[in-house]
Chain A
Amino acid sequence: MNLVTVSGPPSSGKTSVILKTIDSLKKQGLKIAVAKFDCLYTDDDILYEKAGIPVKKGLSGALCPDHYFVSNVEEITNWALKNKFDILISESAGLCNRCSPYIKGIKAVCVIDNLSGINTPKKIGPMLKTADIVVITKGDIVSQAEREVFASRVNTVNPSAIIMHINGLTGQGSFELSTLLYDEALNIDSLKGMELRFPMPAALCSYCLGETRIGESYQMGNVRKMKVED
């Protein structure tokens, strides 16, 4: 089975792109499942179910969804292996610009949209910079010039990625993406021993663990202080 990790900022078009791409993958006779990771809320599982795609959903609640992803991806992968899928696609909300759910040796796709502003590629960290494929959506509502400028900015922060333009509404470009996703050489039968592409920060301070009181004496763990000058 292949695992493909898809990540990207909220509402960038991840679900739309995945759904259209799965249409093409199904035509190639592949069996596909999706795992959706989000923070507080998502209806994406309903969209996948409606399209007849087996889906598992996980909400991270108070945790960074990417941390939650790593803690659960092995179980989800085992579920997909047991059910003999050819591809498991994970969709995770890239809420935290610092983390990314990408794993070494596992295909990593980042979905961002043309509307997010030309400085966005600079702001997104490893989620964009270490992806193998960057999908740019919503090209239908900007000009050719804006598409070219945006793609060139993406290329500057991740020169080795394949950059693709996909229209999440019509699916234009999704067939092309589907040809790049499944690769027999990348089949796995377990995630054991695999590593994240990029370490996630150890962001555990007392507030992460539920502390609500303000004041230095309540602050434990990984706490950083601003330099406030007089």
Chain B
Amino acid sequence: MAAINNRKISDLIFEFPFLASFFSDNGLDITGKEELTLAEYFAGFDEDEIEDKAIDVDNLMFQIGEFIKQMIAFLGKEDDVVKTVTILPGHDKSGNPEKFDDLVIRQGEIICIVGPTGSGKSRLLGDIEWVAQGDTPTGRSVLVNDQVPDKKWRFSSADKLVAQLSQNMNFVMDLSVYDFVELHAESRMVQNREQVIKRIINKANSLAGEPFTPETPITSLSGGQSRALMIADTAILSKSPIILIDEIENAGIDRKRALGLLISEDKIVLMATHDPVLALMGDRRIVIKNGGIHKVIETTDEERKILSTLEDMDRIFLAYRTKLRQGDIITKIENTQ
């Protein structure tokens, strides 16, 4: 990184194309100045401009260097494959040690987290996100691929261990579906963007009841369509190997397919839920009590059979909801077999 300040802006941008966005996001107009060195460019500002634009040349030089370093690191490496996440026991709220040796969660697994309000579900998710090293209130430690993990999982904005599907599924941007996904793809530096965007929209449409087009404004998507788009986008575009879900609401979306999509993209899914249908869709469930992991239960074959009955009941329930919405009058309980 020696002496970038003595290199021409055009050369720098040729070598590090991502610098173009650095200049524009920092409000630095370089048009017509490409043949200047960085130092000459900054020397060209008069005092008023420096004051108005709040330019701090030393700091900017430093930040440009940082940005180049980060982007090179980000672009140059293979995607991290996280095969396992291991939780080592800590203690519950009363200080009693947790009674398990280690809890290994594997790529492609769905783990549910259940327990009463205030029991510590969010804290467990927090421990994983922060890759705790005995330094959180629970005393737990987290290993990634059996190793004490790299600090970057805590501090890098590009490498987050965990992506989260919000409970509240609103979009605040006012863009078309296509532009929205493209913006996300851009920020993730994705190659062959067009293909990826198409794939996301197709997947989303296969999860939602009613299809939408790439031109649809995201703010006019229905609740189910928004959820579907969000899940497909996170599954395919987010680099984070772990997806946290705080309940997926049951309206207008095929939840089993949604989970299937996340798993097929090699994610680890952790889901805090009170819904029996979701809880039983997991491979295992972690029961939290008084801040500690109380039990880890593998979903039994019998439970899976019960799950399909519960799913039928769920469908009946939904069918009645639809009827009521349409203004129908309900006369008897029908069995939808």
- Interface positions of A (Cβ within 8 A of B): 27, 98, 114-115, 117-118, 121-122, 125-126, 129-130, 139-149, 151-160, 162-163, 170, 172-173, 175-176, 179, 198-199, 201, 224
Contact = CB atoms under 8 A, between A and B. Distances in A.
Contacts of B66: 159-160
A122 B168 contact: no
B268 to A, nearest CB: 15
19 contacts: A122-B26, A129-B56, A130-B59, A140-B167, A143-B170, A144-B166, A144-B233, A145-B234, A146-B172, A151-B157, A153-B187, A155-B158, A156-B22, A156-B25, A159-B63, A160-B66, A163-B157, A179-B135, A224-B48
A122 B25 contact: yes
A126 to B, nearest CB: 5
A35 B170 CA distance: 35
Given A152-B187, A172-B122, A144 B63 contact: no
A150 to B, nearest CB: 9
A176 B162 CA distance: 15
A153 B173 CA distance: 15
A160 B234 CA distance: 26
A145 B180 CA distance: 9
B70 interface: yes
Contacts of B184: 145, 148-149
Interface in B2-36: 21-22, 25-27
Interface of B: 21-22, 25-27, 48, 51, 54, 56, 59, 62-63, 66-67, 70, 122, 126, 130, 135-137, 154-155, 157-158, 163-173, 180-181, 183-184, 187-188, 226, 230, 233-234, 237-238
A224 B155 CA distance: 42
A198 B59 CA distance: 10
A149 B172 CA distance: 12
Contacts of A159: 63, 66-67, 70
A162 B158 CA distance: 11
Nearest to B25: A156
Given A140-B166, A142-B170, A173 B51 contact: no
Contacts of B25: 121-122, 153, 156-157
A10 to B, nearest CB: 17
A85 to B, nearest CB: 23
A198 to B, nearest CB: 6
Contacts of A144: 163-166, 230, 233-234, 238
A143 B126 contact: no
Contacts of B158: 152, 155
Contacts of B187: 148-149, 152-153
A75 B66 CA distance: 36
Contact of A126 (B56, B62, B170, B233): B56
A198 B172 contact: no
B126 A172 contact: yes
B181 A145 contact: yes
B27 to A, nearest CB: 6
Contacts of B155: 162-163
B166 to A, nearest CB: 6
Contacts of A149: 183-184, 187
Nearest to A198: B56
A200 to B, nearest CB: 10
Contacts of B48: 224
A-B interface, 7 closest residue pairs, ranked by CB to CB distance from nearest: A125-B54, A159-B66, A152-B187, A159-B67, A145-B184, A156-B25, A163-B157
Given A98-B54, A143-B233, A158 B63 contact: yes
